[in-house]
A and B are shown apart, each in its own frame.
Chain A
Amino acid sequence: MPQISLVSKNFQYPDQVELQAALSRGAWEQWKRVLAEKIPPAAIIEEVKAAKLRGQGGAGFPTGVKWGFVPKDSPKPKYLCVNADEGEPGTFKDRAILENDPHLMLEGVAITCYAVGIHTAFVYMRGEFYQPQRVMEKAIREATEAGLLGKNIQGSGFDLDVIVHMGAGAYICGEETALLNSLEGWKGWPRLKPPFPAVVGAFGCPTVINNVETMAGVPHIMRLGAAEFQKLGTEKDGGTKLFAISGHVAKPGVYEMTMGSSLKELIYDVAGGLPGGRRLKAVIPGGSSAPVLKADEIDVPLEFEAMAAAGTMLGSGAVIVLDETVSIPEVFMVTARFYAHESCGQCTQCREGCTWIYKISKKILAGHGQPSDLDLMLDLADNMNGKTVCPLGAAMALPTIGFLKKFPHEFLALMKS
């Protein structure tokens, strides 16, 4: 069975959010061991590299490699920003960690900060995460009182402050450089790269930005060792991944799978298939910015490279299942409405392109479309694909190309002649 419990192991216990209960199940043990055995920071970075842990926020960048980019001899302070802005439509796996096992994430944060030489970590959480905020703030308080965070942790001389910083309703702030601007108190406009945040990040200082789930993997690497952890996945993608599956499935929810399990297995064996005996039409496999797959294209391994080879992406691991009753032009309009609403407005192609595509998709739904509208939308998509400050332009372009190329007949059927 491809299903496995590692990161999600303790989600089943309602008291896991309490420090004492979490400790009784092994929380914070790896952090205490790191400090007691004075494991060299460089050794931890090597371990995370060897474990082949990849970023779980969407881009899949190797985590240990990213940490290695942070200059070691910088006179400036360094920061960690945990990306808890989870806003990609269809994604709800970070909420599961934040609400069910905050100490697992915090232990990962502590080990990461120690490895990179960081004394202040910000958890940038989307503003609507009221419950995750309550849970996380309490967990930080309890961990600090127990001497696991704060000053001179466990007598080691190592200090670490963890600060929860709430956003205020802007999807774009999940993009790492928009997140930095937002944290600094500006509007969430992405920055041009380079410089990369590892060198010039928060407040002009070297900064590591990692997703919540990425952080939650770190204590498991320390517990299992790199080799064991890597073997749970594939050669290039170590460990496991949380998949969030929703839409037309019998058992929507968060499921942890070994890397490389198949999308088909996830939908039919794990999430119970489609309810009411209805047939599958399509699957959006990696959050709303991933190009759609048709029903006969879903026998793909859930792994970054294989999904890319199938013309789509693993993204944030958010799978949305569409049954035969779904109108593709309607789903497309909802997608375009989202990106039009969330474009930060900084680049003309993205600001205008998302809005135009949304307006045209509405016009087609209202029965006023014409076949040339499809070409116009593809042209707009092409104009913003990879030609903007941040990848949000591509996040609108790719699903546009996917929906229009795979289901043109559904759009044409709405046109009069």
Chain B
Amino acid sequence: MLQFSDATRQQALALIEKYPRKSAAIIPLLHLAQKEFGWISEEAELAVAQLLDVPVVSVREVSGFYFMFHKHPPGRYHLQVCHNISCSLLGAETILDWIREHLGIESGQTTPDGLFSVERMECLACCDRAPAMLINDELHVHLTRDKLAALVEERRRQAPPPEPHPTDNHESMET
């Protein structure tokens, strides 16, 4: 069975304390679980449910509803490209084209080496700096194809040697 590290467990217990009802900590704990395990597996849902002493369906209902919880392992660098109005006016589709041409992946897919995954995103609330994307928890703005190429190259260089990745490409909403 999947276990939280001691440090995460401590953090989780402190989080639970903050709320008048335990169930309110489901989303915060799922965030912790995703940080620790990289994605939300059924075992991760079970671990959260046990810590909170709630039925696992309560956790599963939540993890299924919210877009940020990955039901499959994402790449080491998860590219989330905004394709909403202001970003698409200023070239979001050319950014997604670059990713398709150079990384060979479409929204919802991961490169075979497990390094990059990509997802279409709705408005990131930084439309004045469009087009915008997140790479994991970093915001990147005023994107161009050249800027993206440099960002990807930089991450390729930083990454440790690849490990086999349980690639599981699935369809997300297509355009």
Least Cβ distance of B33 to chain A in Å? 12
Question: In the complex the two chains form, what is the Cα distance from A90 to B139 in whole Å?
Answer: 17
Interface check A313, CB cutoff 8 A: no
Interface check A417, CB cutoff 8 A: no
Interface check B126, CB cutoff 8 A: yes
Among B39-95, those with CB < 8 Å from A are 58, 61-62, 64-69, 80, 83-86, 88-90
Known contacts A166-B28, A185-B25; is A248 also within 8 Å of B89 by CB? yes
Question: In the complex the two chains form, what is the Cα distance from A362 to B30 in whole Å?
Answer: 35
Interface of A is mostly: mixed
CB-CB under 8 A from B122, the residues of chain A are 87, 89, 171, 338, 341-342
Q: Is the CB of B127 within 8 A of A89?
A: yes
CB-CB under 8 A from A288, the residues of chain B are 84-85, 123
Question: In the complex the two chains form, what is the Cα distance from A95 to B126 in whole Å?
Answer: 8
CB-CB under 8 A from B126, the residues of chain A are 92, 95
A185 contact from B26, B80, B134, Cβ within 8 A = B26
Known contacts A127-B66, A168-B67, A184-B24; is A334 also within 8 Å of B84 by CB? yes
CB-CB under 8 A from A387, the residues of chain B are none
Q: Is the CB of B84 within 8 A of A338?
A: yes
Among A84-115, those with CB < 8 Å from B are 86-92, 94-95
Interface check B175, CB cutoff 8 A: yes
Known contacts A89-B123, A130-B137, A338-B84; is A185 also within 8 Å of B23 by CB? yes
Interface check A216, CB cutoff 8 A: no
Question: In the complex the two chains form, what is the Cα distance from A252 to B86 in whole Å?
Answer: 10
- Which of the candidate stretches A239-247, A300-308, A369-377 sits at the interface with the other chain? A239-247
Interface check B31, CB cutoff 8 A: yes
Q: Is the CB of B27 within 8 A of A168?
A: yes
Known contacts A127-B66, A166-B28, A338-B84; is A95 also within 8 Å of B61 by CB? no
Q: Is the CB of B85 within 8 A of A87?
A: no
- Chain A: interface residue count, which band? 35 or more
Q: Is the CB of A335 within 8 A of B128?
A: no
Question: In the complex the two chains form, what is the Cα distance from A335 to B89 in whole Å?
Answer: 12
Among A53-91, those with CB < 8 Å from B are 77, 86-91
Q: Is the CB of A87 within 8 A of B83?
A: no
Q: Is the CB of B86 within 8 A of A246?
A: yes
Query: How many B residues, CB 8 Å from partner?
Result: 45
Interface of B is mostly: mixed
CB-CB under 8 A from B24, the residues of chain A are 165, 183-185, 203
CB-CB under 8 A from B85, the residues of chain A are 89-90, 247, 284, 288, 320, 331, 334-335
Known contacts A334-B83, A335-B85; is A170 also within 8 Å of B123 by CB? no
Interface check B18, CB cutoff 8 A: yes
Minimal Cβ-Cβ distance residue in A for B174: A362
Interface check B7, CB cutoff 8 A: no
Minimal Cβ-Cβ distance residue in A for B29: A185
Q: Is the CB of A334 within 8 A of B88?
A: yes
B66 contact from A87, A130, A170, A330, Cβ within 8 A = A170
Among B120-138, those with CB < 8 Å from A are 121-130, 134, 137-138
CB-CB under 8 A from A170, the residues of chain B are 65-67
A90 contact from B23, B86, B90, B175, Cβ within 8 A = B86
Q: Is the CB of A244 within 8 A of B128?
A: yes
Question: In the complex the two chains form, what is the Cα distance from A265 to B127 in whole Å?
Answer: 20
Between-chain CB contacts (< 8 Å), 14 pairs = A87-B123, A89-B86, A92-B128, A127-B66, A128-B124, A128-B125, A128-B134, A161-B18, A169-B66, A185-B27, A186-B62, A254-B128, A326-B89, A331-B88
Shortest Cβ-Cβ A-B pairs, 4 listed: A169-B67, A168-B66, A187-B65, A169-B68
Inter-chain pairs besides A89-B86, A168-B67, A320-B85, 13 sampled, C-beta below 8 Å: A77-B20, A92-B126, A120-B20, A130-B134, A130-B137, A166-B28, A168-B68, A183-B24, A184-B24, A185-B24, A186-B62, A288-B85, A331-B85
* Residues of A bordering B, CB below 8 Å: 77, 86-92, 94-95, 120, 126-131, 161, 163, 165-171, 182-188, 203, 244-248, 252-254, 284, 288, 318, 320, 322, 326, 330-331, 334-335, 337-338, 340-342, 362
